[in-house]
């Protein structure tokens, strides 16, 4: 930091990037603890699901939903680039697309939950399934709130190259949530 | 500063603007909303008694309402909505301390005062325990009340140990020591303080909701079945965890990005190194506590089966996840205090800090090791015995970096020109307590001895030597050392020495005999003991009251000196770290221009290079 920059403060977007990256470290532990619990409990049970009357969710719908969430990472990354080069129209459009894809993901997941023949109280199978997916869903929702704020600022013309760091910080978080989903999809649905 | 409005805010203004009144109203409103919502959902789903659900959701929305009411969300909401926001004029004088103030120095004082208040509450709970245990077969407390007093003492003291040095001294000193004007995220900083107040309220109110029987660790299955007070315990600890994580992210970002020009890593004061290492632990480990407690809460509220063996769950899983955080947490408590002591010793011994770099590296080694030793809490819990050996060896390895910290302290006072001021006395007291705490820890790391000593008062005595003898002594060291900086006034040296003499003696008289009691079969967390241990217990109870008197001396000294002690100079100790280059107390911007940075501990014959450069 140069002497001229002394006193640069919270508005400094690069701080937000550092802060979000550090926060993600703690989020890794949060999901890590839930995944570890999942493997411990699953490893201790003879079959998975433990009782024959429980059925795991259908894969095709969830696989499609996974694609929806993954493509939202692509739009998000392109939105960050648009913000950085000061392209207001593209910023709004791409942030809107990310928001739409994220919402779609949550709606499809709600639909999937409504068709699952088991609840959170159905033994360790239901407990781990809904806790993991629920926590992930809560993180998607938090990310959508942040993306919504970015979109609003972009529409008002307040999201230019000067504070692209804010968009970038949100994008780190959003990509992280996507990666968690990939691990979740692989372990909870596929394996 | 000139045009301070003379008119008091109108009653309507109190509600419209953020503040304590609006915070309380919105907090209660949020609580009511959440409670109603959960009750409605609960009865729709056919839950028999939705009270626990109502309390949980009520608490969550209550905290949000409280923060919004304080004005804590105004800045973020304005940003999110793209509104121009005229910064509300910051409160002046003592009112700053009762408002959502973003100045790190105000927040540090808020943390310190809150911690000391909680320290007194938890200390009183400890005295209640000691009164009950003064004679065998005591009927003073019912068994449930004894358990609640013990749980309150443990949980609140853990909270105090987690926030007093980190939140209090850390917030106050880290930005000053690195030559910054504030923390990287001032609003987040205020947020991490203010969400603690509902948590404090919840834990103090837990006896009204049946208390909890589990001590501070809340092992299932007891904690799954416990009364509503247990749920308040969970909500409290989750909040403290969230606050710690936000605080740690803030500290790390601050140290990474806001160091003054010239403040290289090897010029950081050792306290900043300790805080950095602590913040790394918090960021990595604390979420595990959140996960463990969430699973516990879900088992209680949503019928999940995480820790219910009848339905495929595993209580041992809780112990692993819980201790993955809670063992490193003892270093979150102790390491900042190590930093305080290593920072204070050179000033009062007039010598450079011995093995400064090695001490800093040791802090980082403690970070790594602290994360891989949690299994030593599970030797008798049913953990696979093949894990005993590795956990034992790893735990013993921690004595290497902690030993380096200890030697750095010893090497610093060796042949120094020691001034026996109150902070120096507490630092020296820390040294002797730390040896006892460290050495007795080895008996609990070693599997054969630990199996004998588990859940005995030997364990109680050991961790009181590490946390009181280490962390609380470090806290007092720092409080006296930086009292002139924080308050602008000198404390009373005679009262300070009296406090030290009383506290040091009574602390050792309280806890040293408990090693003996533990070896002779006194069980931890049990409301009774064999009659042959009556003598030692009466002795310990009397000594515990002496600790209370010593604490009263401290509080009297602090309040009186703050009100009318003699004015303190900017640098009464002739210290070299940057916080002493500001006035006492420092101006709100800390440093109008970047301070000249030199070596932090250049004491001794030669004038330090940094100071020469600064003049």
CA–CA min distance B237, chain A (Å): 15
What residues contact residue B28 under an 8 Å CB cut-off, 6+ apart?
B62, B65
Buried residues in B192-206 as b, exposed as e (16+ CB within 10 A): bbbbbbbbbbbbbeb
For residues B567 and B301, what is the distance between their CA atoms, to the nearest angstrom? 55
Q: Give yes or no for residue A102 having a pLDDT over 80.
A: yes
Residue of A2, A4, A7 for testing the chain B interface, max B β-carbons within 10 Å: A7
Contacts of B294 in chain A (CB under 8 A): 131
Residues B493, B423 contacting (CB under 8 angstroms): no
Residues B268, B256 contacting (CB under 8 angstroms): no
Radius of gyration for the alpha carbons in chain B, expressed in angstroms and rounded:
24
Q: Give yes or no for residue A7 having a pLDDT over 70.
A: no
Task: Compare CB distances from B298 to A1, A2, A131 and report the shortest one's residue.
Answer: A131
What residues contact residue B126 under an 8 Å CB cut-off, 6+ apart?
B153, B157, B544
Q: A127, B182: Cβ pair inside 8 Å? A: no
CA–CA min distance B322, chain A (Å): 10
For residues B97 and B117, what is the distance between their CA atoms, to the nearest angstrom? 15
For residues A94 and A106, what is the distance between their CA atoms, to the nearest angstrom? 19
CA–CA min distance B45, chain A (Å): 13
Q: Convert the pLDDT of each residue in B7-19 to its tens digit.
A: 444 455 555 678 8
Query: In residues, how long is chain B?
Result: 615
Q: Give yes or no for residue A99 having a pLDDT over 90.
A: yes
| Confidence at residue B603, expressed as pLDDT on a 0 to 100 scale | 86
* B418 φ, ψ (degrees, to nearest 5): -80, 130
Question: Cβ of A2 under 8 Å from any chain B Cβ?
Answer: yes
Closest listed residue to residue B341, CA positions, set B402, B286, B281, B280:
B402
Rounded average pLDDT over A49-77: 92
ipTM: 0.94
For residues B92 and B111, what is the distance between their CA atoms, to the nearest angstrom? 18
Q: Cβ–Cβ contacts within 10 Å for residue B451, how many? A: 11
Chain A, 123-142: which have a CB under 8 Å from a chain B CB? 123-128, 130-131
For residues B585 and B364, what is the distance between their CA atoms, to the nearest angstrom? 32
| Confidence at residue A51, expressed as pLDDT on a 0 to 100 scale | 84
DSSP state of B468: I
Nearest Cα residue in chain B from A154: B82
DSSP state of B260: P
pLDDT-derived band at A169, boundaries 50, 70, 90: very high
Contacts of B317 in chain A (CB under 8 A): 37, 40-41
Nearest Cα residue in chain A from B589: A7
For residues B552 and B556, what is the distance between their CA atoms, to the nearest angstrom? 6
Q: Kindly list the distances between the CA atom of residue B270 and the CA atoms of A61, B241, B277, B405, B492, in Å, as whole numbers in the listed order.
A: 55, 25, 11, 11, 27
pLDDT-derived band at A1, boundaries 50, 70, 90: very low
pTM score of the predicted model: 0.94
Q: A18, B257: Cβ pair inside 8 Å? A: yes
Q: Convert the pLDDT of each residue in B70-115 to its tens digit.
A: 999 988 999 999 887 766 666 778 888 999 999 999 999 999 999 9
Buried residues in B543-575 as b, exposed as e (16+ CB within 10 A): bbebbbebbebbeebbeebeeebeebeebebeb
Contacts of B283 in chain A (CB under 8 A): 22-23, 25-26
Q: Convert the pLDDT of each residue in B213-269 to its tens digit.
A: 999 999 999 999 999 999 999 999 999 999 999 999 999 999 999 999 999 999 999
Q: A10, B185: Cβ pair inside 8 Å? A: yes
Task: Compare CB distances from B312 to A10, A124, A156 and report the shortest one's residue.
Answer: A124
| Confidence at residue B107, expressed as pLDDT on a 0 to 100 scale | 97
Name the stretches of chain B with pLDDT < 70. Answer: 1-16, 86-90, 605-615
The number of helices, as runs of H, and strands, as runs of E, in chain B is 23, 0
Q: B313, A50: Cβ pair inside 8 Å? A: no
């Amino acid at each position: 930091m140069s002497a001229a920059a002394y006193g640069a403060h919270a508005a400094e977007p690069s701080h937000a990037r550092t802060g979000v990256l550090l926060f993600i470290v703690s989020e890794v532990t949060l999901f890590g603890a839930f995944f570890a619990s999942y493997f411990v409990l699953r490893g201790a049970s003879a079959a998975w699901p433990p009782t024959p009357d429980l059925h795991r969710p259908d894969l095709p719908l969830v696989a499609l939903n996974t694609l929806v969430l993954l493509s939202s990472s692509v739009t998000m990354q392109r939105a960050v680039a648009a913000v950085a080069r000061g392209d207001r129209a593209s910023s709004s459009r791409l942030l809107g697309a990310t928001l739409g894809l994220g919402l779609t993901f949550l709606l499809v997941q709600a639909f999937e939950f409504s068709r699952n023949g088991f609840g959170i109280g159905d033994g360790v199978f239901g407990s781990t399934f809904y806790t993991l997916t629920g926590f992930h869903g809560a993180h998607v929702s938090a990310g959508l709130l942040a993306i919504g704020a970015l979109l609003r600022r972009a529409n008002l013309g307040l999201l230019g190259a000067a504070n692209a760091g804010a968009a970038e910080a949100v994008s780190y978080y959003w990509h992280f949530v996507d990666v968690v989903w990939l691990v979740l999809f692989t372990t909870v649905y596929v394996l | 500063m000139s045009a301070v409005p003379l008119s008091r805010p109108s009653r309507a203004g109190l509600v419209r603007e953020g503040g304590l009144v609006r915070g309380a109203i919105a907090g209660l409103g949020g609580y009511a909303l959440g409670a109603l919502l959960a009750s409605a959902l609960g009865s729709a789903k056919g839950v028999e008694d939705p009270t626990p659900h109502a309390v949980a959701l009520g608490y969550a929305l209550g905290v949000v309402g409280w923060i919004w009411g304080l004005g804590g969300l105004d800045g973020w909401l304005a940003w999110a909505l793209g509104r121009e926001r005229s910064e509300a004029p910051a409160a002046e004088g003592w009112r700053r301390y009762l408002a959502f103030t973003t100045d790190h120095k105000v927040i540090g004082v808020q943390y310190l005062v809150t911690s000391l208040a909680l320290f007194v509450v938890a200390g009183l709970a400890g005295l209640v325990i000691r009164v009950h245990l003064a004679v065998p077969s005591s009927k003073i407390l019912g068994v449930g009340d004894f358990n609640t007093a013990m749980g309150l003492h443990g949980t609140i003291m853990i909270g105090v140990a987690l926030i007093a040095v980190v939140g209090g001294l850390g917030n106050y000193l880290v930005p000053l020591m690195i030559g910054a004007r504030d923390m990287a995220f001032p609003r987040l900083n205020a947020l991490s303080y203010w969400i603690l107040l509902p948590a404090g309220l919840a834990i103090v109110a837990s006896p009204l909701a049946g208390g909890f029987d589990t001590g501070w660790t809340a092992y299932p299955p007891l904690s799954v079945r416990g009364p509503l007070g247990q749920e308040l315990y969970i909500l409290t600890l989750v909040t403290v965890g969230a606050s710690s994580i936000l605080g740690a992210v803030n500290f790390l970002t601050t140290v990474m990005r806001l160091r003054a020009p010239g403040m290289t890593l090897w010029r950081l004061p050792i306290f900043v190194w300790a805080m950095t290492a602590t913040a790394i632990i918090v960021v990595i480990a604390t979420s595990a506590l959140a996960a463990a407690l969430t699973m516990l809460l879900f088992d209680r509220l949503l019928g999940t089966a995480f820790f219910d063996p009848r339905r495929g769950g595993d209580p041992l899983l809780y112990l692993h996840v819980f201790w993955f955080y809670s063992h490193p947490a003892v270093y979150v408590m102790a390491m900042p205090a190590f930093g305080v002591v290593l920072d204070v010793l050179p000033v009062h011994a007039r010598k450079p800090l011995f093995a400064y770099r090695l001490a800093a590296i040791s802090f980082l080694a403690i970070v790594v090791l602290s994360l891989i030793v949690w299994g030593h809490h599970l030797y008798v819990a049913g953990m696979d015995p093949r894990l005993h050996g590795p956990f034992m060896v790893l735990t013993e390895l921690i004595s290497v970096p902690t030993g380096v910290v200890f030697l750095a302290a010893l090497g610093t006072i060796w042949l120094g020109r020691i001034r026996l001021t109150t902070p120096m006395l507490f630092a020296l007291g820390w040294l002797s307590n730390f040896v006892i705490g460290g050495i007795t820890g080895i008996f609990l790391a070693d599997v054969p001895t630990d199996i004998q000593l588990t859940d005995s008062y030997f364990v109680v005595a050991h961790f009181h030597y590490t946390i009181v003898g280490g962390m609380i002594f470090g806290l007092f060291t720092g409080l006296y050392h930086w009292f002139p900086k924080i308050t602008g006034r000198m404390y009373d040296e005679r009262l300070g020495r009296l406090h030290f003499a009383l506290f040091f003696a009574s602390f050792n008289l309280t806890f040293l005999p408990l090693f003996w009691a533990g070896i002779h079969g006194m069980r931890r967390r049990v409301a009774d003991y064999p009659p042959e241990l009556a003598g030692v217990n009466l002795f310990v109870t009397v000594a515990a009251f002496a600790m209370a008197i010593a604490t009263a001396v401290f509080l009297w000294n602090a309040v009186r000196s703050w009100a009318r002690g003699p004015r303190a100079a900017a640098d009464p100790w002739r210290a070299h770290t940057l916080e002493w280059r500001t006035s006492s107390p420092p101006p709100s911007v800390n440093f109008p221009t970047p301070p000249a940075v030199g070596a932090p501990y250049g004491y001794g014959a030669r004038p330090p290079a940094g100071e020469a450069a600064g003049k």
